[in-house]
Each structure stands twice: as structure tokens, then as C-alpha cells.
Structure 1
Amino acid sequence: MKRNNLIFALGAILILLAGFFAPSIVTNPFYFFAGYVIVQYIVIATGWNVLGGYAGYINFGAAAFFGSGVYLSAFLFNAFGLPLWVGIIGAAALGAILGLAMGYLTLQIQGVYFAIATLGLVIVLETIVHNLPGLGGARGMAVYGPAPPEWSGGPVQYVFFVILIIAVACVALARWIEHSWIGRGLRAVRASEDAAECSGVPTLKLKLVACSISGAMLAAAGAPYPFYTNFVEPVTAFSLLIGLNAIAMPLIGGTRSWAGPIIGAIILASAQQIATVTISSELNILFVGVVLIAFVALAPNGLLGLAKRKSAGTAQ
């Protein structure tokens, strides 16, 4: 285990170093625009999987947390000139609070009813933003960030490196949760919540922790977004596609491991980027729907589960 932790830590450091020096090697900014989306998807998938994968509570409300992070970061900068890192911390705190509140209100219900309740959170928050002139209302608002540091190479290179740091931190936290007592308890909840409760597992406490951590990660994923697009609007920040992608990515890679959401995010984000450039961005929702149906039918445990099953069959 210690050896695996060391390998993971070295890999994380190498990824951050690569992201730091990438602007001096890669001159085409398009790769940073596309790379930002892929890395952002990794954060979203990892955040969703803490609750939806480890605990088995399917959450359709990912866009609510993402959108809250987007708007809080944009508001803090436009209104008070606070730097991006303050927006990220504030967004994570807001996401954790929203997750905790959502947990208290909805965790007594399970299955499809829980999923519908989380979807309601998206509608409520989007409606609130629509009716707040201070946040731009339905028209949205422009966000022109400060000049990026000289070492970053440019605005898009800078936000790419920022989202890369967030992704490494979130993946490290998800990996720690998976191997900790929290992860063991959440797996017990996913297998049988009643049996876990009878065995002395503090199921409600663990689910609230998972809701808070998941919400914090999803909101942190949205915090750099205003500095990436320089414009935010409710329809985009609380988009249905965000919620669909959040579910699809862990299902593609596998929900039972911290690595599954990363694999799913890279595959789905890359495919969507290629489809957007070569065909049309309007096909993204259709593509996600087809992928979801295919994986639910053919590989319900994702690519990692499929690989394990094939390796087990080979060994026999």
C-alpha cells in the first residue's frame, strides 16, 4: 500500500510539472482550450462518483453544484475583485454546504425518488439566478479576469493549470476515501443500507459526508469556468448536459474505483471535443444518451469492471 501511495504521489507531481511547463512547449492555445474541458470533466466525474459510485446514490443534481461554483466565483471577482483562488475555496465551501443541506433533505428517500429530488435542486438554483439582477439574470454577465501570471503563458494556459491542480487534489481525495474507513462504510451502504445499519455502520453520517465532499468537488470544478469563457449564463452553468456527463463518465470507466471516472472522463470529453469540431456540438446530448444505454446494457460495471471480468475468465 505504501508503495502504491508513493507511485501515486510521484505521478501527481509529474502531471503538475507537465502542466506547468506545457505552455513553453505547446504553442497552440487550442490544446489548452480542449485540455481544460477534459480535466474539468475529470473533476466533475470524480466529484459525482463519491456519492453516486461509492455510496450508490444516483445524483442528477451535479449541475446545481457546478453552477453555484461558477456564479460564486464570478460574483466574487466582479463585485469585490477577489482572486481566483479565493473563488475556488469559496465555491468548494458553498458546494459542501449545499451538499449537506441536500443530504439532510433528501437522504431519507432512495432510488428514483432521490434522483428526482436532486434534479429539483438544479431547477431551484437556476430559477434563483435567473431572477437576480446582481448575477446578470437571464442575460448572464461578463467576467474579465486580471492578467495571468507571466509564467503561465496566457489566460487559457493559466486556467488550464488551475483546473489541473483541482483535478489532482480531487482525485487524491477520492483515492484516499476509497481506501479509508469512509470508503468501506460507503461500500457497505451501496451493498445493503439496512444490513450496514444493523452492523453498526453510521450510514446517515457517512452519506452526509459523501454529499458534502461531492458537492465541494463539483462546485470547485465550476469556479475557474468564468475565467475560461469570460461569460456566464444560467442556461450554460446549470446545463442538463453537465448532469448527464457526470453520470455517464463514471459509468463508462467504472464506479467502484477512483480510476474509473478518470478513464470515463477522458474518453467522453475527447469524443465530445472531436464531435464538436468535426460535426456539431448539438450531437453531444445524443452521443451521451447512446453511450449510457450501451454501457448499462453491455458493461454495467464500466470498462474497469469489464477488464476485471475478462482477466478473471482468462485466469480460469
Structure 2
Amino acid sequence: MRRPLIVLAAGVALAIALVPTFGTNFAVTFGFQFLIWICLALSWSMFSGNSGYASFGHGVFFGIGTYAAAAMLRSTDMPFIVALLVAGLVAGALALVVGLAVFASPRFAGDLFGLITLAMAFIVMTVVSNVAFLDGGTGVFVREHTADSWIGSDTRHLFIVAALLVALCGAAAIAAANTRWGTALRSIRDDESVAESLGVPTYRYKVVTFAISGALAGLAGAPQAVFLGYVEVGAVFALNIPLFVIMMAILGGMTRWWGPVIGAALVVTLREALLGLGSAELAQVIVGLSLVVVIALMPHGVSGFITRLTPARTIKGGAR
């Protein structure tokens, strides 16, 4: 794990040193959004990419983390770091409860698991809309409560927080790719019944990893609440969020920890460039067609294609 961790740390340190100092306001804002997408793609792929259980509700954990942080910042005088931790804990707790219930039965696997996570999104949206502390149907104003704080005074500070979260998500993804934990998850993806017969505690691995995945997405929601300034259900729990996350993971390739990073870079950059043409619908169509082309020509994603072109000696010893 040493080499990929060093590469990850160096990349994050370089981004923190250069972008907030020399980047324009647009570059910092774009960079922040890009880093948040990386966090979501890495956290989704850590569970779904390794285990084969495709979750369509990953945006729920991101959204509940956003709302938890927004509620804390609006209703208390706690510093942002507390709101950040609360966002991760609430999202992780929700994922833990869902995992304990769903993974207890082998019937909730495959496509049915995806449908359950999708239904979870509508349930959580309804609850948040009717709980006054979270939203109550009016939305949550965050900007006025953070304008005088370090985190809310400059988007560059949000960029630094997002970069540190990328480091955390990346470290978790590297661990899932290079340890027995990841090997157990991939054995579930290959054949869960065989994995169980060989003594792999599949239930425990699925529940714990799903909870960690949800917690990481919730952590990413905290700086997003400050960035938005005003949090409302329709935007935070939009269904296009998990769909874009899945697209990023597939485009980049889920067999390598850094694949979702490549996918996030491609989707975010392509979408931003196409939005400049003035048509959001055209941007979505072209991004979708790009996904189809990559799946047809690169079944293991862009990262798999890059690895095939790279001499074996450069990827040996944990570069995955």
C-alpha cells in the first residue's frame, strides 16, 4: 500500500499548495466541485465496485450528511469540524441500519438491492421534508451562519477541506484494494455462496463496508452545505447525483482504486465543457453516449485500458 498512499498524499498536498494560492475563483470553485465528486465516486466504488452490490441510493448518504451539517450550523454554535463529524456519523449510522436489515436476507441481492436503495432515497426525502429540525419544507439557510467563520469566508477553505476528504476516501479505497478486506469483498462479488463456504464472514464485511461508504459520502456533504449556502430537498437529493457517481465509477473502471478518480475527471470536465454550449440536456446526452462508447470499447473502464498500455513492471506491487 505504500506506493499508492504516497502518490495520493503527494497529489493532495500539491493541490492544496497550488490551487488555493494561484487558482482563479473559477478554478477554485470548479476544483472544489470536482473533489466532492471524487469523494462520492471513491466511496461508492469502495463498496459497490468491490462487492458487486450496486447501490442507487448513495446520494442519500451525501444528502443526509449535507442536511445534518446544515442543521448543526444553523441551530448550534458548534464549529464546522463538529458539523463535519456529525454529518459523517449520521450518514454512517443510516447506512449501518440499512445494511443490518437488508444484508440479513440473501433475497435482497442483485437488482433487488439496487431497488431497495433507490426506494430509500424517496423515504429519506419525505422524512427530511417533514422534520422541522432538518428542513420542514422550507429549506435551510446556511450562508448567514457561516459567513463570519473560517469555513464560510472563502471558497479556498472549502477546497482544502474537500482535498483532505479526498485523501481520506482515497486511503480507504486503497485499503479496500490491497488488503484482505478488499479480497473478501471481491470474493463476494465473484461468488458469495462459495465465499461463505470458505469461511468468509460475508454479512459482516458487507455491513461494515456499506456503513463506511455511507459515512464517507456524508462527510462530503458537510462542505457542500456551506458551498450551497441554501440547502433544499430537491437539489440535495436529486436522483442524478447517484447516477453520475455510478457513471464515473464505470467510466474510470472499478477494478482499480484510482479508476473512479479518472471517471470523475472525465465526467466533470466533459459536462462543464458541454454546459458552456448552453444546453444541459445536450450535455447529459453526450455524457451518456460517452459511457456507452467506453463500455463497448473498454469493458474495464479507462483505468483498465491505461493499465494494458503500461508495462507490467510499472504497476507491479500495489499500483492497483
TM value normalised by structure 2: 0.89
Aligned twin of 1:61: 57
Native 8 Å contact 2:47 2:213 kept in 1: yes
Cα distance, 1:41 vs. partner? 0.5
Q: How does 1:20-39 map to 2 (within 5 A)?
A: 20-26=17-23, 28-39=24-35
Aligned twin of 2:170: 171
CA shift digits 1:265-290 (9 cap, x unpaired): 11111112222233233445434433
Native 8 Å contact 2:68 2:134 kept in 1: no
Give the number of equivalent residue pairs: 307
Are 1:207 and 2:206 an aligned pair?
yes
Distance in structure 2 (CA, Å) of the matches to 1:42 and 1:246: 9
Cα distance, 1:131 vs. partner? 1.6
Aligned twin of 1:98: 94
Distance in structure 1 (CA, Å) of the matches to 2:283 and 2:113: 26
Q: How does 1:1-316 map to 2 (within 5 A)?
A: 2=2, 4=3, 8-9=5-6, 11-13=8-10, 15-26=12-23, 28-107=24-103, 108=106, 109-144=108-143, 145-149=146-150, 154-309=153-308
AA aligned to 2:33 is V
Q: CA 1:18 to 1:63, structure 2 compared with 1: closer, same or farther past 3 Å? A: closer
Structure 1 unaligned residues grouped into runs of 5+: none
Distance in structure 1 (CA, Å) of the matches to 2:243 and 2:152: 33
Aligned residue for 1:279, secondary structure, equals: coil
Native 8 Å contact 2:60 2:124 kept in 1: yes
Identity rate, percent:
30
Q: CA 1:284 to 1:178, structure 2 compared with 1: closer, same or farther past 3 Å? A: same
AA aligned to 1:260 is G
Q: CA 1:135 to 1:94, structure 2 compared with 1: closer, same or farther past 3 Å? A: closer
Q: CA 1:115 to 1:14, structure 2 compared with 1: closer, same or farther past 3 Å? A: closer
Distance in structure 1 (CA, Å) of the matches to 2:282 and 2:222: 26
Distance in structure 1 (CA, Å) of the matches to 2:290 and 2:262: 14
Q: CA 1:305 to 1:148, structure 2 compared with 1: closer, same or farther past 3 Å? A: same
Distance in structure 1 (CA, Å) of the matches to 2:158 and 2:267: 21
Cα distance, 1:310 vs. partner? 5.6
Native 8 Å contact 2:20 2:159 kept in 1: no
AA aligned to 2:16 is G
CA shift digits 1:22-72 (9 cap, x unpaired): 33322x211111111111110000010011101111000011101000000
Aligned residue for 2:52, secondary structure, equals: coil
Q: CA 1:101 to 1:287, structure 2 compared with 1: closer, same or farther past 3 Å? A: farther
Native 8 Å contact 2:129 2:233 kept in 1: yes
Cα distance, 1:105 vs. partner? 2.2
Q: CA 1:59 to 1:162, structure 2 compared with 1: closer, same or farther past 3 Å? A: same
Structure 2 unaligned residues grouped into runs of 5+: 312-320
Q: Select between 115-124 and 275-284 the one with higher mean Cα deviation.
A: 275-284
Cα distance, 1:292 vs. partner? 3.5
Distance in structure 2 (CA, Å) of the matches to 1:127 and 1:308: 44
AA aligned to 1:202 is P
Moved over 6 A (4+): none
AA aligned to 1:253 is G
